Amino acid sequence: MNESALLAIALVVIAVGLVGTVVPHLPGMPLVLAGIALFSIGTGFRIIGLLQFVVFVLLGIFGMGLNLLGDLFGARAFGASRWGMLGAVIGLVLGLVLAGPFGIVIGPLIGAVGFELARGREMSSALRSGVGVLVGYVLGALAEVVIALAMTGWFIWSAWGLVVGAVR
């Protein structure tokens, strides 16, 4: 397969990945990385070098990590106890199992509030921990979107010669 065709396929996979960073049910960052990997490996690392590819992978892992850990950072910033943070983690796992991608949002919220209440905290304090989980989730998701967009821009800039040649 020639480089222009690889680039076209990679850009489609990356575009679907970008949509997936904001739409549930689509693995956003993994698809962005898959598109970059397809092109990089398919061209023998001639355009996107191995070191640059490794940096893309590390950025992608960092973005996914921020998204996953956003719940915990948010809960902690809003005063959640260790019990509330444990509840957020357990809620995340149970939410994913019971409600799929929508459980990523609601599970940690219910878990944090539930564990805070079980620990004996007042409802207002428990709800504040839950709100922290939601704020953390939104900020983590936003961080993943920004990183995915930056990676996409860097990828297009790196492959610009082929992009311009493909358009002509």
Let me know the angle formed at the C-alpha of 130 by 145 and 120, rounded to the nearest 5 degrees: 155
Neighbours of 162 (CB within 10 A): 19
CA distances from 66 to 2, 6, 88, 136 (A): 36, 30, 15, 9
pLDDT score for 74: 86
Neighbours of 76 (CB within 10 A): 18
Sign of CA dihedral 130, 131, 137, 140: negative
What's the token pair of residue 72? Answer: 């915990």
Which ranges of the chain have pLDDT less than 50?
A: none
pLDDT score for 31: 97
